[in-house]
Structure 1
Amino acid sequence: DSLYGVTKCYGEAVASYYYDKFDVETVSVRIGSCFEKPRDRRMLSTWMSPRDFISLMKAIFAAPMTGHLVMYGVSDNKSKWWSNDHAEFLGWKPQDSSEQYRAEIEAAFPPEDRKDPAVIYQGGGFAAKGHFED
C-alpha cells in the first residue's frame, strides 16, 4: 500500500528466487516499528522492543536451516496484527509486550479515526501520502 511496500515485496521475491534457484537461504523480517517503547496508538500493535529484535536476529543466525522465510518482527503485543506461527521452528519467543505502555499512550493520543488511510492500511502514514509527484 506504498512504494516502500512494493520495494519490500520485490526484495522478498528476489530472495525467494535465489533460494529456489541457488539454495541461498534468506529470512526477510517485516518490522512494524522498533523503538525503546511505542510512540503512538498504532505502535501498540506494531511495536518490537530492541531486546526482542536482538533475540530474533540471534535465533535466525543460529537456525540450522531457514529456506526462504518471510516473517514479522513484532513483540508479544496483545493487539498485534500479525502471526509468526509458520516460523515457530526458529524457537524464537518474544519477551516484551506493548501492554505496559498502553495507559500512557492512550492518555497521550486521542482515539484514531478509523476512516483515516494511515489507520486503515499497513503502510500507515506512508500509504496516506499518495504518489510523491502528486
Structure 2
Amino acid sequence: MVERILITGAAGGVGTLMRPRLARPGRVLRLLDLHPLPEPGPGERVELVTGSLTDPVTMAAACRDVDAIIHLGGISREDAWDRVLAANIDGTHTVLAAACEAGISRVVLASSNHAAGFREFDTGDPEGIAGESFPRPDTYYGVSKAAVEALGSLYHSRFGMDVLCLRIGSCFERPADLRGLSMWLSPDDGARLFEACLAAERPGFQVLWAVSDNTRRVVSLRAAEALGYRSRDDAERYAGEIDTDPALAPKYIGGAFCETPLGKPNPL
C-alpha cells in the first residue's frame, strides 16, 4: 500500500527543508502551495498541487487518498489581523475539516514558539517549559498558532483524529543568534520529529516542542521523546560563530517578536 503524505505550505522554508528529508521508498509526498514548486527530481515520488489551503474545494481534492497531513501552510510572521485570521486560523479550519471529511486520522500541525513567546527564558525549572504549557502569544501570529492548537484539540475530541501540534522553535540550516542557540531545530531533527509523529501509535492530541536537544535548551522534550523523537543535533556547535554576550540575550523566548508592533509585517 502506498503511503501518501500531504504537506501544505510545501514551498515555504520548513516545507523546502523537509521535502528531501521526508522522502522514503514507497511514500508519495503530495505537495500543496500557492506558489510554484520545483518539478520532481530523478526518482522523487511527489505530486504537485497549486492552490490555496483556504479553498475548501482545493483542500477536498488535495486530501483524496491521503494517509496523513503535515500542515505547514499559512503566514509565518506577524501581519495584519485579517490576513493572519484568514490564512492561519480559517485556513487551518479548512484543512482539518477536509481531513475529517476524507477520513484522514493523523494530522501534524505546525504551531510555533510564538504561541508561547512571552514565556521567560529563565524559568528556574530544570525540566524546561512543557509543550502543553498555557499559550502566552507574542503577536497576532502567535495568537493564530494558539488557535491552531485549539482547533487541533477540538478535532481530536469531537472526531477522534490524532492531532500533534509542534511548537517549532527556529528551523533553519543553522542558528542565527543567541536565542537560536536555545530554540534551534535542525532540519534533520525536524524530519526525525515529523517521522515520530507519523509513526506513533494512537498518540491522541498533544502539543510538543520542536527543537533540537540544544545545550542551552529551555523547553522540555519529554513529550516528544515519549513519542519516539531522538534529537541528534545541538546548536552549541555553532556557538563560536555567534555573539554570545549575555547583554544580547532576550528575556522572552519569542525574542524580537515580543517587540514588533502588532499587525505590522516584519522581516523575521
C-alpha distance in 2, partners of 1:43/1:87? 19
User: Structure 1: which amino acid aligns with 2:153?
Assistant: S
Name stretches of at least 5 consecutive residues in structure 2 with no aligned partner.
1-137
Q: After superposition, where does 1:99-118 map in structure 2 within 5 Å?
A: 99-106=236-243, 110-113=245-248
Structure 1 counterpart of 2:183, from 46, 55, 60: 46
The whole-number CA distance in structure 2 between the counterparts of 1:87 and 1:32 is: 14
Which stretch of the first structure deviates more once superposed, 82-91 or 11-20?
82-91
Change (3 A) 1:105 1:51: same
Is 1:78 aligned with 2:209?
no
The residue matched to 1:39 in structure 2 has which SS?
Answer: coil
Q: Give the distance between the partners of 1:61 and 1:68, measured in 2 at CA.
A: 13
Runs of 4+ in 1 over 3 A off after TM superposition: 109-114
Cα distance between partner residues in 1 of 2:247 and 2:171? 21
Tell me the distance in 1 between the aligned counterparts of 2:236 and 2:224: 23
Deviation of residue 112 (structure 1)?
Answer: 3.6
Over the residues paired in the alignment, what is the CA RMSD in angstroms? 1.6
| In 2, Cα distance between equivalents of 1:12 and 1:60 | 15
1:90 aligns with 2:90: no
* 1:126 has 2:257 as partner: yes
Structure with higher helix content: 1
Residue aligned with 2:166, SS: strand
Alpha-carbon shift at residue 122 of structure 1 (Å):
2.6
- Output the CA distance in 1 between the equivalents of 2:157 and 2:247: 42
Supply the distance in 1 between the matched residues of 2:235 and 2:224 (Cα, whole angstroms). 21
Say whether 1:26 aligns with 2:163.
Answer: yes
The CA distance in 1 between the partners of 2:192 and 2:213, in whole Å, is 13
Unaligned runs of 5+ in 1: none
TM-score, with structure 1 as normaliser: 0.86
Q: Separation in 2 of the partners of 1:129 and 1:49?
A: 25
Higher relative contact order, structure no. (Cα contacts within 8 Å, ≥ 6 residues apart)? 1
Quote the residue 2:128 is aligned against.
none
TM-score (norm 2): 0.45
Q: Distance in 1 between matches of 2:255 and 2:223?
A: 25
Q: Could you tell me how far 1:93 is from its partner in structure 2?
A: 1.0
1:13 aligns with 2:150: yes
**Pairs aligned (count):** 127
1:37 and 2:179 aligned: no
Secondary structure in 1 matching 2:167: strand
Higher CA-based Rg: 2
Task: Give the Å deviation of 1:110.
Answer: 4.7
Q: Say whether the 8 Å CA contact 2:189–2:233 is kept in structure 1.
A: yes
Letter matched to residue 97 of structure 1 = D
The answer for the alignment partner of 1:62 in structure 2 is: 199
| CA distance, structure 1, for counterparts of residue 207 and residue 188 of structure 2 | 20
Percent identical residues: 40
CA drift of 1:36 comes to: 1.1
How far has the Cα of 1:91 moved from its partner?
1.5
Q: Give the drift of 1:32.
A: 1.0
